[in-house]
Structures are given as C-alpha cells and as structure tokens.
Amino acid sequence: MRFARQPFLAFICACLLCRSVCGQQYGHDEREHVKRMLSDVSADVKKHYYDSKLHRVDWEAKVRQARENIEKADSMNSGIAEIAAVLDSLHDSHTQFYPPSRRESHDYGFEVRMVGNRCLVLYVRPDGDAAKKGLKVGDEVLAVNGHPVNRRTIWRIRYMYGVLRTYPVLQLVIADGAGGHKSVEVVGTFEPSTEFRHRYMFEGINHWIRDWTAEEEVLKVRYFEKDDLLVIRLPAFEFPLDEADRAIARMRKHKAVVVDLRGNPGGFVMTVNRMLGGVFSDNVKIFDEVTRDRSKAVSATGQKNNAYAGRLIVLIDSDSASASEVFSRVVQLEKRGSVMGDHSSGMLMEAQFFEHEGYGAEISTANLIMKDGASVEHVGVEPDEVLLPSPEDLVLGRDPVLSKAADMLGVPLTPEQAGTAFPHPRFKAQ
C-alpha cells in the first residue's frame, strides 16, 4: 500500500505530462474513447474508493451528466476535463484522473511554493524564458492564466497545468511590490524525453520520468553536518529500507538531528515506518487505517537500543504532504521532538493507482486517522513554531528556518550558512 501523493514540483515538469491534444480531431471514435475512459474510471471509484457511499455524492447522476457533456464537447481536452470534474466532486485531495501520456516533457523554467499565504518564486532557471521575461526569485505570483493562486487552489492549478493538459504559455500576474501588479508571459519549452519509464510513487501516483538520472538526483537523501548536529534532507520517502537504516545509524553518531521534510510530498509506507521506528525505542502507533470494510491500527516498530535517542527537530512547509505529514505529526503527538516551519499541505490519504490502456486514476483506498482521533486530510500539521522565509531571504539564499532549528539545538548556524547546506539540484538561486 502506498500513501497518496501530489506532484511536488510546481510548474517544473521533469516528469512526462498528459497528451497534448489541442487541435486533435475530435470525431466519433475520439468521443467513444473518452466515454470509455469515463466508464472505466467511474467503475474503479465505485469499487475501490474507501467510502462506499462516496460521501453521499449522487455518483450516477454525475457520471451521466459528464457523458452528456462529453458528447457535446468540441475537443478532446474538454472531454477529458469532464472526467476530471467527476472525480473532483468527491473533494478528495488524491482521487484524480490521469489521461494518456506521451514521450514529451515541458518546462516553464521556474518553481513556486506557498510560503504562509503567499505564492513565492523559489527558483528560476537562468537560461529559461521566465528569467528572460524578468521573473525573479522572491516574486509573488497572484494568478496563473486567470486563476488566483492561494493555499486552496494551488494544488488544482498544478494538476490542471501539470497533468490534465499542456499549455504553451503561462500568463502570470505578479505583485509589483508597490501594492499593484504586473503581467508576465512565460513560454514553455517542449522536447522529446530522453527516457520513457513508468513508475508508481509511494503514494500511488504514476509519473512518467523524462530523465531518470536527474530525477534520482532530485530525490536523493542528503546530509549536512556541523559539530554535533546532523541535518537530513529527505526530498521524498522513496528510498529503500537499507538507506533508511544507514540514515538512522548516522543519526546515532550525533547529539542533535534536524529532519528536513520541506517540499517532501510523501513516500513508501514501509520507508516512513522504518524512519519513525528509528527515532523511537519502543513500538509507536502511527494511525488507524480506515477502509470501506475495516479499521486497522498501524504501528512503527521501535528499534530499541539501535534507535536515535538524541534531540530532534522536524522541518515542514506547505508542500510537505502525505508521509511527511505522518512523520511530523507522530513526532509531535508523541512529544519526541519539535516541528518547525510552515503549515503542511493537508493532503494525507492512502491510495492506489488503477491503470487501463495508457490512462487511469489514483483512488483513495483508506482514510488515515492519527492517534489523537483526527485526520490530517484538508487540515494539515500545524508547526509547534511557525517560521517562514521572507522574499528577501529567498533572493539572498538565506534559510532562517534551518538556522533557527540549529540554534535551538545548540549549534550556531547563520541563515546564510544554512542556505548553502542543500543547493537545489535543478536550479540555482539568483
């Protein structure tokens, strides 16, 4: 079983995206194909969704209306959007439709993230069109192609432009710093993929990887050491158990550890369980896994004398989701350490991907109820201490969050030093 996962690179499409069908003929055969996709995905939801009552949504009526709309649609894109809308009616952060994919990737050359309630640019590719058009690190994005960007809408925008369809141009509205705004038009680059490999992430979402080597670099566990402090950067819980064991063994050599889960969208259930077991000597309950026909308590196996017993701080942000929310919330509930940073995404379900002929859907198969009796879905993890980087911090490459965590653990680390601990593997700050 895998946790559900959202795409974690905003507008930076290193994975292969959905088939671009703009201008494609939309005749009888294409309509029938879209209707077949709707029938397949609808049947999968009815069979596998964790809530057999589908949150009391009139599912048959929704599907019937979508079928009628598909018949009237004037393009493949419009037909596919009808399927996505049906699944969206469940208001489940990880039940989504994934249309046919192709051997092509596109890249807009920048990455954004919600920082508090502001959508800020984190990285800009120096040679990309975004940089040429004047987009800079620290800029605040107010809207994308007319869609306002905020914490409630950003995941939908990512899904729309990163999964459902490709767009040659993004029309951005940027705050100008003087209370007004300006428009920036960013042209994407499209190119054939160097590799075509289908894989399922720990949370069940399928990704078509353009460049496996580059993706491996992005997802690699990284370390930073200073005096008695070890900082472990986990971009995702996608590494094998022997790597988790090596990380825990390395933790035991230090008196203080920071586990950096910022930007971490989740990972394999077995991996986060092993990492949790590595910071507890005894077994610890993680959550109750609630499916349509049962509720099962899930625990992490404590590692007794082999567990890390020192001081612990966990860092999270708005893109910390799924398994990273599990890890941070368990640490918080068990009072094993402190959680710092930004409010997490609130996207925690257990899901599976159900594939057909080149398309399919990720469907939530279980709700996860934490030890305090609450679900993190749509709620997120509230840090013990909220601490956010400013736009100026991003521009100057400073990391005040890691700096403060190190200081709390007794190791002096300036924001400038902290900002150089983990250079972004894909982009360079300006």
Indicate which CATH number applies to the domain containing 143: 2.30.42.10
User: Among all chains, which residue has been given the structure tokens 């996709």?
Assistant: 37
The region, left, alpha or beta by phi > 0 then psi within -120 to 50, assigned to residue 227 is left
pLDDT over 60 (residue 198): no
The pLDDT confidence band at residue 219, using thresholds 50, 70 and 90, is confident
Higher pLDDT, 69 or 195: 69
How confident is the model at residue 41, as a pLDDT? 97
Are 258 and 404 members of one domain?
A: yes
Name the residue among 161, 167, 160, 114 with its Cα closest to residue 140: 114
Choose the weakest-confidence range: 8-22, 110-124, 234-248. Answer: 8-22
pLDDT at 17: 32
| Residues 280, 404 within the same domain | yes
Domain holding 291, by residue range, is 217-419
Say yes or no: 157 and 241 in one domain: no
Domain final position from 127, 158, 192: 192
Q: Taking 70 as the threshold, does the pLDDT of residue 103 lie above it? A: no
In terms of pLDDT, which residue wins out, 86 or 77? 86
Q: Is residue 248 part of a domain?
A: yes
What is the predicted pLDDT for the residue at 214?
A: 55
Whether residue 170 is found in the same domain as residue 284: no
Q: How far is CA 188 from CA 149, 161, 165, in A?
A: 19, 11, 13
Percentage of the chain lying above the pLDDT 90 cut: 74
pLDDT at residue 202 in the model: 28
Residue 354 has pLDDT above 50, yes or no: yes
Supply the CATH number for residue 270's domain. 3.90.226.10
Within-domain flag for 34:
no
Considering the domain architecture, whether residues 221 and 175 belong to the same structural domain is answered as no
- 281 is a domain residue: yes
Residue 117 lies inside a defined structural domain of this protein:
yes
Give pLDDT, residue 108: 87
pLDDT at 215: 60
Across the range 64-89, mean pLDDT stands at 94
Q: Are residues 251 and 162 in the same domain?
A: no
How many structural domains are present in the chain? 2
Residue 146 shares a structural domain with residue 223: no
Q: Is 68 within a domain?
A: no
| Residue 208 resides in a domain | no
Is there a single domain that holds both residue 224 and residue 292? yes
- pLDDT at residue 398 greater than cutoff 90: yes
184 and 260 inside one domain: no
Same structural domain for residues 270 and 162? no
Tell me: do 239 and 358 sit in the same domain.
yes
Which residue would you say has higher pLDDT here, 27 or 140? Answer: 140
Query: Are 309 and 391 in a shared domain?
Result: yes
pLDDT tens-digit profile of 315-353?
999 999 999 999 999 999 999 999 999 999 999 999 999
Q: Is the pLDDT of residue 15 over 60?
A: no
- pLDDT tens for 121-176 read 999 999 999 999 999 999 999 999 999 999 999 988 988 887 787 788 999 999 98
CA atoms of 368 and 350, how far apart (whole Å): 7
The pLDDT, as a whole number, for residue 328 is 98
* 86 within some domain: no
Give the model's pLDDT for residue 7. 34
Residue-level pLDDT at 104:
64
362-395: per-residue pLDDT in tens? 999 999 999 999 999 999 999 999 999 999 999 9
